[in-house]
Each structure stands twice: as C-alpha cells, then as structure tokens.
A and B are shown apart, each in its own frame.
Chain A
C-alpha cells in the first residue's frame, strides 16, 4: 500500500496515462474487454511496484508494464498468436501503390482490421509511434529493443500494413464495392 506522498505521486504521474495504457493493451490483445482486464492488472502492478519507479518518463514506465502484462496474457490465452521478436531480416523493396491505398484509407474498419492482422511486434511499434506519438527512443525503452531494431521494425510494419491495405482494397474493387 502506498502512503501519503507516494500515493499522490502515483496519482499525478501514472494515472493520467490510463488511456495510453488501455490503447496499447487493446491493440496488443485485440479486444476491448480483455484489454480492460490486462490494463487493470498492469495498473495494480504499477501501484504495487511504484516504489521501484524513481523518476523519469512515467508513461514509458507504465507502458513497459502494460506490454509485459499483454504478452503474458497472450501467451496464456492466445497460444497460437505470433509474438516472435522483431528480427533483423532484410527489408523487402518498397512498392508504393497510392491509388489503391486511397481506396482503403478512409475506412476505419478496414484500417483497424489490417492493423489487427499484423504480428504483435509490428502492431506495437506502429501503435506506439502513430497513435501514441512516442519517439524512437521512447519506443526503444518501452519495448526493450535497440533503436536500430525499432527503426527497421517500424519500416517493415508500415510496409506490411500498406500491403495488407492494398490487398483489402483490391478485394473490395474486385467485388465491385
């Protein structure tokens, strides 16, 4: 149990990042209901171990915990989920298809589905960068990866997302939608 000053510090520095925590959990476990459980668990852990947090970026500290809780949850509840680490594989050649992308791009449903279909490691760098607005350095701290891996992971994640969107868009066109 936290007392006095520590409690206040927890309230002021950690609780404001509840949305960020929930957003990351939602995109990692891919369900709002499960994300609620995971986020609650993460917040309780943060509360319990607040003594180990000294100073610095409270959001990054909390998101680290959320990330750990999310992967633990995935291992337990979604054993088939691909949670492999980002590898340093060579990057495929970028091929841009702006026309077909434009077809799919304004559809929240399509984007959300395409993002959900990426492997977890790609999802998390994209969510942290594009939705949460984290810097490379922050993403590196949260995901415990070297900055170089974050950078190449992000490049590949974007490419995969674009490919997925293009495919969906082409399917839609094919069906005459």
Chain B
C-alpha cells in the first residue's frame, strides 16, 4: 500500500521542524508505515555521511587578511578646526598639482618593482592600523626603540624622536615586505599615524619621490644606504616635512 503522507513531512520531521502535535502524529504513522520508516533511516544515513565527510569549507587565512585590510578603519579625521583643515586640503591639493606638473616636465623613472613595493607598503600601513598591530615595541624613547631592532633586522635603522617638530615617536615594528624584513618606525602626527619603513638597499633604481592612492600618501627617500618610505593619511606636506627631518639628522 502506497503511503499517503506528503514526503515533506518526513523531511520536516528529520529536520526537527514539525510542531509537537505534528511530531507525535508522524511518529505514530512511522509505527505502521514501513516505507516512511525506511525513508527516514535513509535520510538519517545521508545526514550522518554528510557530517562525517566534513564538507564544511572554512575561509582561508589569506581571505581573512584581505577582508581585514579592506575594512580597516580610516584613521580619525576629526579636527577641532575644520577651517584650518580646509586650507590644509587646498594646500595639499596645490602641492599635488605642482608635483604632478613638475613630473610631466621631469619624468621620474618608475619601475614595476617600485609600484609593487608601494602597493605592499600601503597594505602594510593599513594592516598596522588594526587593533594590536601597530607596534611590537611601544615606546616614545628612541633609546628603547633603536636597541629593540638589534638582531631582529640585519640593519640598525636610524631611530629619532621628532616630538619637538610635531612627529612624536610611538614605537617600532617589524614587517615583511616583498619577502624582505623591514623596520617600521611609528610616528604620530596630530591624530594621524605615520609609518616610516626603513630597509637597506643597494639597488640603483631611482624611486619616484611621492604619491597618493585612495587618500593615503607616501614619500620615498634615501640616506646613508637606507631606503625610507613614509606612509600615512596625513597630508603630503607633512610627509615632506618628516622626510626633511630625517635628511637633516
């Protein structure tokens, strides 16, 4: 005799989606219907198989990282003086315009290698803004930060506190950029964070000085065999000022 029960009842029962009277009625039906009892056993077997096969696919670490970077907080842009900010924005825009202008007259050589580095450095900057990622050694004292790098990177990066000039040293960190260990010095600039990446480099490719992408600025320079790159959402003139401070040391 063919069973008259709708098949959906069987699945709803299997999934625990029937209400109490429905459950009781179906259980009563099971006692007399061999078809449904067999179908239920098969359903339970299938469920066990799916469980045991561990088909759940967890997100890979690379995706987790990408999502974290993409949804990283924009560092605070609040200011008590919106008027001053507007002027600063105008000034920054002017500087950028001038830089762009001069670039067309004196084109700098930009290698694909540098483009890759710039992208990675911007990523590293964004990553560092995640909670707990900013500093490995947290200190405003250059005599604490400098020795911390000893033995960790094959270079002794120059560490200076520029508090007096509006760039207080906040600490240091190690980053791996394009497979190379790089020292990152962390500075504050008003309410912004500036990462200064420092590494030793012999390559002779002239690095284009500075640029902007998605609201973040960077400035490259070199001194005493070191390459530097400052990255921040603070203005480009700020970064140029920091660059000057480093060069004047």
> B-contacting residues of A (Cβ < 8 Å)?
1-3, 7, 10-11, 15, 18-19, 21-23, 26-27, 32, 35-36, 39-40, 43-44, 47, 91, 94, 96-98, 101-102, 104-108, 111-112, 115, 126, 129-131, 135-136, 148, 151-152, 154-155, 158, 161-162, 165
With contacts A106-B52, A131-B50 known, is A94 near B7, CB below 8 A?
yes
Dominant SS among interface residues on chain B: helix
Residues of B whose CB lies within 8 Å of any CB of A are 7-8, 10-12, 15, 17, 35, 38-39, 41-43, 45-60, 62-64, 66-67, 70-71, 73-74
Q: Which residues in B have their C-beta under 8 angstroms from that of A96?
A: 38-39, 41-42
Q: List 8 A-B contacts (CB under 8 A).
A: A22-B57, A23-B59, A27-B57, A106-B53, A151-B11, A155-B11, A158-B43, A162-B42
Contact of A101 among B45, B54, B58, B59 (CB under 8 A): B45
Find out whether the CB atom of B11 lies under 8 angstroms from the CB atom of A158.
Answer: yes
Q: How far is the CA of A102 from the CA of B46 in the complex (A)?
A: 9
**How many inter-chain residue pairs (CB < 8 Å) link A and B?**
121
- Determine if B39 and A18 form an interchain contact, defined as CB atoms under 8 angstroms apart: no
* CB <8 Å contact, B49 and A105: yes
Bound-complex Cα distance A46 to B70 (A): 12
A154 adjacent to B11 (CB under 8 Å)? yes
One of A10, A39, A105, A130 near B45 (C-beta < 8 A): A105
Q: Give the docked Cα–Cα distance between A39 and B66 (Å).
A: 11
Q: Are A162 and B71 in contact (CB under 8 A)?
A: no
- Chain B residues contacting A135 (CB-CB under 8 Å) are 17
Q: Which residues of A contact B35 (CB under 8 A)?
A: 94
Q: Which residue of B lies closest to A108 (CB)?
A: B53
A39 touches B59 (CB 8 A): yes
Let me know if A115 and B55 touch, CB within 8 A: yes
B126 to chain A, nearest CB (A): 13
A159 and chain B: residue at smallest CB distance:
B7
List residues of chain B with CB within 8 A of the CB of A2: 71
Do B59 and A19 have beta carbons less than 8 Å apart? Answer: yes
Give, as a whole number of angstroms, the nearest-CB distance from A12 to chain B. Answer: 12
Distance between B108 CB and nearest chain A CB, rounded to angstroms:
31
Q: Which residues of B contact A106 (CB under 8 A)?
A: 49, 52-53
CA distance A23 to B35 in the complex (A): 34
A147 (CB) vs chain B CBs: closest residue: B17
Q: Tell whether A7 pairs with B56 under 8 Å between CB atoms, given A94-B39, A101-B46, A102-B45.
A: no
Closest residue of chain B to A129, judged by CB?
A: B15
User: Please, which residues of chain A bring their CB within 8 A of the CB of B47?
Assistant: 130
Cα separation A106 to B74 with both chains bound (whole Å): 48
